Chains A and B, each alone.
Chain A
């Protein structure tokens, strides 16, 4: 049904993203054994109802927003389904970045220089990290961070990048609130733009406030947000293909 000529996910029309096929092709092309195993685990078909999809919420703390000049400082992940978020399988790593750290960024994450010095390089945890994602659809809040940072980090270290489907809880909020900026009249009346940042989005679903800037807490926060979004605006039968990128 979907053409093999697609070489990348199509954000404009996510339904067309042929993820299972692409994962199969990437598996055959991958040279690194961890990456190959990751792709071999494949992914669910786009028509799979959300209630049946194995998911993993993922969050990176980074030294900045540009994958080409900034580095990953920590990784938090928690496996989940639409019904349950599995804290027993949650994982958290501090990563030693190859690039110099910006001091203020480190303090935001509550990670000290000595933590960093003792921490492993990303390559050293791949054997644990990639299997945690394998076979699952990744859930993030703002897809501009995790996938691009991981792509660049692996390119830099392994000379090959990584691709995988993600569900973006921020994009879901953005679609639900297409006209977030108030017009000039409302602005005059003091109306403020609706925020789709993670803490603000959570508030709309009655989810509790969590202090930001901890990768595992943020992963958990995104996981809960996705459960809430599906219950309020979608259904357990919504095909995953309608939500992933």
Chain B
């Protein structure tokens, strides 16, 4: 007769991976366990001893160690350990010690084996450790709405409407009216096969032709947009959305090879995805003053929460929020030019930090600068740009992008300089690096021109890419600075557990997670001469160079994605609860799954930092944070 062990069974049924097992299976496990009590401080398993059981913590707390004696994890009620010993060599891999008086349910090896072989959920849970588990965590996250899985071709409702680029303005307008399209693709038909040479949109007709009162005989070539931004026909809808956000265009020709397949418009995506972030963006571009922009800025947080609820990944959300941020800047600059008149010399408005990396979230300050033409004469021209900078900066502040506490804004004379001065700045930072100075200029190594003469910022990117990889001292000092902020070890009950076993109540996921990860990725990217700014793109560039050991690029990518998405979800929950979002997360607010995966991600970061120190011979940095 099998006696029913209700207490054991009930407790197991409340914890992963047992909670999903069939009731009969739970009864069977409860009926097979051995119970063992361990006084605080006593050894539960020793390295190398035969692994006989899966250990389940019924009460108390256990510390798991690496073979080196280094603390690996701290576990409490409902956690399991010993699975790796059972699956691998049948000897204990991670020794365990009771941290408190502890009661353990020991599930025998043969039963473990049976569960492992027959139950998929159980197997998934126990098999997957560290990196692999993190990958599953990220993949599981990736399940998604249509925006993520549908191809752009879905949005093409009709064949491309095109015309030779030799036609006149009036004819172009007539074709667009007859065909009922808002964009007309123009083809250069002078060669053997026609090639796309430009595009003209309703908006172009209004802003360039009508307001300028151009004669109807004007060649369309004079007003069409060239340097076409196109999208591949196999791309996903969200990629089209990001491309529009990034480039501030409302129409994208879809191409298959060189051949146009159709044009998709902003409105197609908005219709497809009515809650789209693009809606906010197009709204921003319609506003006529700061008051209007401020009103639109109230929708930004809703748009953020919506994307989170639609299971968008961190890259999409970061890009979308950066796209919104850029749109505010762009519209404010247009308004400034309307107010102040045309600029006396060409300029480029430069975004720095998270906006430049396409990794912006909702809690963000403004980091920007002005790169002016080398013809800039301070006495003559700076009055204009000073006013422009102030207008934009105040406008951004009104829209929720707080002033930069480090004064990295175009309003600061130092950061409102001609291109040659900027080149000298970057050259000095790279060739005569000082640790303290680099700490402050770190943010300039994420840069993106978002309005005006973006070729200036392209030149700066090229300069950085060429010089940085040659300056070992620069890379070493950047690496040293990147080691200032370290991740915690993981979580224990309601605490964040530090590497030294100390415990904190909350963790700042930006300072202890995403920021040190982006720092680390930036250095590898600079070392391999990449011009990419986005962390995920930087990782792709790094992967191509074989700079990092096999697999570490994927691990870093997964770690960044996971920490970022937990941070994002935390902020979305705060917004939904009517609270001010921040980066401080309490362990009790995390699910067991998030806690485990975050721990894995912290481990990846920690290993990444160790490698960084070794790879760039970073001098010993300051301790912790």
A, B co-complexed: yes
Chain B contacts of A51 at CB under 8 A? none
Is B7 interfacial (CB 8 A cutoff)?
A: yes
Interface size on B, residues (CB 8 A): 27
Contacts of A85 on B, CB cut-off 8 Å?
A: 34-36
A189 at the interface (CB under 8 A from B): no
The interface size of chain A toward B, counting residues with CB under 8 Å, comes to: 28
Bound-state Cα–Cα, A85 to B58, Å: 14
Segment with Cβ contacts to B, from A37-45, A143-151, A200-208: A200-208
Please, which residues of chain A bring their CB within 8 A of the CB of B32?
A: 87-88
Max chain B C-beta neighbours (<10 A), residue from A84, A211, A232: A84
Distance in angstroms between the alpha carbons of A205 and B3 in the assembled complex: 26
**Contact status A206-B42, CB under 8 Å:** no
Interface status of A156 (Cβ within 8 A of chain B): no
Nearest B residue to A221, CB-CB? B7
Per the bound structure, the CA–CA distance linking A85 and B7 in Å amounts to: 14
Q: Would you give the shortest CB distance from B57 to chain A, in whole angstroms?
A: 11
Instruction: Give A82-106 as 1s and 0s: 1 = Cβ < 8 Å from B's Cβ atoms.
Output: 0111111011110000000000000
Asked if A15 CB lies within 8 Å of chain B CBs, one says: no
Say yes or no: B31 contacts A87, CB within 8 Å: yes
Q: Are A220 and B7 within 8 A (Cβ)?
A: yes
Verify B101–A206 contact, CB threshold 8 A.
Answer: yes
Complex CA gap A232/B98 in Å reads 14
Contact yes or no, B59 A206, CB < 8 A: yes
B1, B4, B103, B106: the one contacting A224 at CB < 8 Å is: B103
Q: Which of B3, B31, B39, B58 makes the CB contact (< 8 A) with A231?
A: B39
Q: Which residues of B contact A88 (CB under 8 A)?
A: 31-34
Measured between beta carbons, the chain A residues less than 8 angstroms from B101 are 205-207, 228
B128 CB-CB contact with A under 8 Å: no
* Across-interface contacts of A76 in B (CB, < 8 A): 3
Closest to B35 in A: A85
Residue pairs across A and B with CB atoms within 8 Å: the count is 75
CB pair B35–A216 under 8 Å, yes or no, is: no
Q: Does B5 contact A (CB under 8 A)?
A: yes
* Among A128, A214, A227, contact of B6 (Cβ-Cβ < 8 Å): A214
CA distance A206 to B106 in the complex (A): 18
Flag if A207 contacts B103 (CB, 8 Å): yes
Q: Do the beta carbons of A208 and B59 come within 8 Å of each other?
A: yes
Assess the A217–B60 pair: CB atoms within 8 A. no
CB closest residue in chain A, given B4: A92
Q: Is B102 an interface residue (CB 8 A)?
A: yes
- Shortest CB distance A95–B (Å): 13
Bound-complex Cα distance A231 to B35 (A): 15
Q: Which one, A90, A93, A207, A232, contacts B5 given CB within 8 A?
A: A90
Minimal beta-carbon separation of B554 from chain A (angstroms): 41
Residues 1-43 (chain B) with a chain A CB within 8 angstroms: 1, 3-8, 30-40, 42
* Complex contact B8–A87 (CB within 8 A): yes
Q: Complex: how many Å from CA A216 to CA B7?
A: 10
- B106 touches which one: A84, A208, A216 (CB < 8 A)? A84
Contacts of B100 in A (CB 8 A): 206
